[in-house]
Structure 1
Amino acid sequence: MASAQPVVVYPPDVDGGRTVRIDGAIVGRAFSVQDLARFMQEAGLQEFDEMDVVRSALIEWRGGGPEIWTR
């Protein structure tokens, strides 16, 4: 992950999914912090867990933080 703010989590859609962009590429939709942790692990941060997701400065949350999963 090269940029200063490599992960963007977009606001929830009508189904409660949040689009996730890592290093400029959309990697999928997360429905929980567990999903986002999995995306982070797949992007190379193998030991990233749910608490890391909640605390990480790498993640830019749009439309609410890690506690928001509904529209």
Structure 2
Amino acid sequence: MVHAPALDGSRRVTLGEEPLGIATHVDDVAEILRLADLYVTDVEESDLVEWQGGGPDDWPGLSEHHAT
């Protein structure tokens, strides 16, 4: 699960009650899941990833860190 953004825009990533990491970009979510041996090819579209408090494009206050 990717939790709602914190005040700084980062998002907690958990598996059930187990914390897996803190993400500051959608790419971080994929890496956190990979490090937990959970290989999800498309975290933005996968039914295996639950987004709370906004979708994969919601990173308030952090957009300048990953400008494309």
When normalised by structure 1's length, the TM-score is 0.75
Q: As a proportion of its length, which structure holds more strand? A: 1
> What's the offset of the Cα at 1:24?
2.7
| Bigger RCO of structures 1 and 2 (CA < 8 A, at least 6 apart) | 1
1:36 pairs with 2:29? yes
When normalised by structure 2's length, the TM-score is 0.78
Specify every segment of 5 or more residues in structure 2 that has no aligned partner in the other structure, as ranges: 62-68
> RMSD of the alignment, in Å?
1.6
Q: Give aligned-pair identity as a percent.
A: 39
| Consecutive aligned runs of 4 or more in structure 1 exceeding 2 Å deviation | none
SS in 2 for 1:53: coil
